[in-house]
Structure 1
Amino acid sequence: MLDQWHLSEKTLVYFTSDQGAHIEEISINGEVHGGYNGIYKGGKSTNWEGGIRVPGLFRWPGAVKPNTLIDEPTSNMDIFPTVIKLAGASLPKDRYEIS
């Protein structure tokens, strides 16, 4: 769609997840399916690394070079204030900003 509307070269695309994989999920048929969080302990609904670490993929031509690796931790709570700042807008006055 971005290509169709000629927006690919000026749009930030950020793909991420909300939590780690389920470490034990039971289907409606009673089948047990487990997720995989690599070397990290725990999973979805836990506070261990496997429950809170998720990958994030960025595509932003002209701002983020392809194959760039950023290993600084972030939070999905960072998305809103970051997008507001990139848009040149102001945060709503009824929100608190932690600096």
Structure 2
Amino acid sequence: MSENATNTPVEDAAADAQRTTTRKTRRGYVASDKMDKTVVVEVEDRVKHPLYGKVIRRTSKVKAHDEQNAAGVGDLVVIMETRPLSATKRWRVVEILEKAK
């Protein structure tokens, strides 16, 4: 083996920084805030039907972590993908765009 094959810790850190991927972000309305530090967010996705071409609205409900319990039902929030926080939580609330009236 040659000595050039080993990487220094600085090179490893630089390689890790290049490998990181961007996390998904979604916008949606809070459907439930009854759990502690958790909100259920309804995320709408518009997809085009493969055969007929009509645009269809599909909604999915995801659980998101809300550390300050700031979001309430009806709030428009931005959520970001994160590491698994529980059995069903994979998202966290980044910001509240609009409070419910």
Q: Which has the larger radius of gyration?
A: 2
- Shared fold (TM-score, shorter chain, > 0.5): no
> TM-score w.r.t. structure 1 length?
0.26
> TM-score w.r.t. structure 2 length?
0.26
Q: Higher strand proportion, which one? A: 2
